[in-house]
Amino acid sequence: MNQAATTLTKVSLENARILVVDDQPINIQVINQVLGDCYHLRFAKSGQAALDICLSDPPDLILMDVVMPELDGLTTCKIIKNTPEISDIPVVFITSLQKSEEENACWQAGGIDYMVKPVNPLPLRNRVNAHLTLKFQADLLKKLAYLDGLTGVYNRRYLDEYLIQQTAQAKRSNQPLSLLMVDIDYFKQFNDEYGHLFADDQLKQTALSIKKTLQRPTDIVARFGGEEFVCVLPDTGKLGARHVAESIMQNIAALKITHKLSPHQYLTVSIGTATIEAKQDYGTDLIAIADKHLYKAKQTGRNKAI
């Protein structure tokens, strides 16, 4: 079995984080008694409080009451399932409602399981354990499916999803969002001169250098295609994007990868930048703009950011 497969069968639930949502303190106490020793629990007394927690610091699993004043559990679950960045948090309903149409409503709202109050401790623990295991396995598979095999940075699939998520987030919080398209200069000649295997290796080094240059946990780099990478920089305006682009160029230049067939003598990159400033048009196609700017950088001498 390879390492990923081994890890998959042995996911650790030690650091699992569960959000318990219930308007009645007594219910929260009961669940705390059953699960508090095994997991890191947090509590919310309303649907809105649960949403706030999910958006700021998402849990691995939610145990959700149905009947609550204002935002009830069903509505809260539907909102979670319709919010891309938190939609994959599993929601287990724990409710005193028992009619079959009430149970059906829980499944329809997007719940992954349904338990009736008062819950028996052992079944609750076992089911929570099973759901967390599945969640962590799914997370791991997703992570593997999102990485580029050659360079180890994110792939195009992840980039597409992340960009949608971050555009929605920027719009919600009225923050700017920037994107960089980084393309290695004269890489065809580099392959011709030094061979494919060595070129692959330098492609990896370049990807790693870009990754290391990005400072914030929300900044990401993805391989967009052959020798092209895209960086997504949340909460970053034009000036910040420019700064990151310059740092990427400097750090790649510092690798001093010899490229005899380039007028610059070393491996360099050109970068196209694109920004949606705060409160501007969040429908703007950042990739198209960055691509256009990259083309300009290529046309006007390469080894530059525009």
Q: Kindly give, in sequence order, each residue whose CB lies less than 8 Å from that of residue 279, ignoring residues fewer than 6 positions away.
A: 174
The answer to whether residue 65 forms part of the interface with ligand GH3 (CB under 6 A) is no
The residue among 16 and 21 lying less far from Mg ion, judged by its C-beta, is 21
Cis upstream peptide for 58 (omega within 30°):
no
Integer angstrom CA distances of residue 236 from 21, 158, 274, 284, 303: 34, 20, 11, 15, 23
Query: Residue from 20, 23, 163, 199 that binds Mg ion (CB under 5 A)?
Result: 23
The answer to whether residue 302 forms part of the interface with ligand GH3 (CB under 6 A) is yes
Q: Which amino acid is at 292?
A: K
Q: Which stretch binds Mg ion (CB under 5 A): 16-24, 126-134, 143-151, 273-281?
A: 16-24
The answer to whether residue 291 forms part of the interface with Mg ion (CB under 5 A) is no
Q: Could you tell me which of 42, 114, 43, 105 has the C-alpha nearest to residue 75?
A: 105
User: What is the DSSP code (8-state) at residue 273?
Assistant: E
Among ligand GH3, Mg ion, none, the one that 298 touches (CB under a kind-dependent 5 to 8 A) is ligand GH3
> Per-residue x/- marks for ligand GH3, 140-169, CB under 6 A?
----------x-------------------
Residue nearest to ligand GH3 (CB): 226
Rounded distance between C-alpha atoms, residue 90 and residue 219, angstroms: 26
Q: Which stretch binds Mg ion (CB under 5 A): 1-9, 56-64, 175-183, 212-220?
A: 175-183
How many residues touch Mg ion under the rule CB under 5 A: the total is: 9
> Per-residue x/- marks for ligand GH3, 189-228, CB under 6 A?
--x----x--xx--x----------------------xx-
The answer to whether residue 60 forms part of the interface with Mg ion (CB under 5 A) is no
How many residues touch ligand GH3 under the rule CB under 6 A: the total is: 16
Question: Cβ 194 to ligand GH3, closest distance in Å?
Answer: 9
Q: C-alpha angle with apex 227: 138 to 143, nearest 5 degrees? A: 5
Catalytic residue among 101, 103, 161, 227: 227
DSSP string, 85-148: GGTTS-EEEEES--SHHHHHHHHHTT-SEEEESSPPHHHHHHHHHHHHHHHHHHHHHHHHHTB-
Is 227 a residue of the active site? yes
Contact 237, 176 (CB under 8 A): yes
Strands 228-234 and 177-184: antiparallel
Q: Could you tell me which of 61, 55, 52 has the C-alpha nearest to residue 17?
A: 61
Question: Cβ 250 to ligand GH3, closest distance in Å?
Answer: 19
State the catalytic residues: 227
Q: Interface with ligand GH3 by CB under 6 A: which residues?
A: 150, 183-188, 191, 196, 199-200, 203, 226-227, 298, 302
Q: Interface with Mg ion by CB under 5 A: which residues?
A: 23, 65, 67-68, 183-184, 187, 227-228
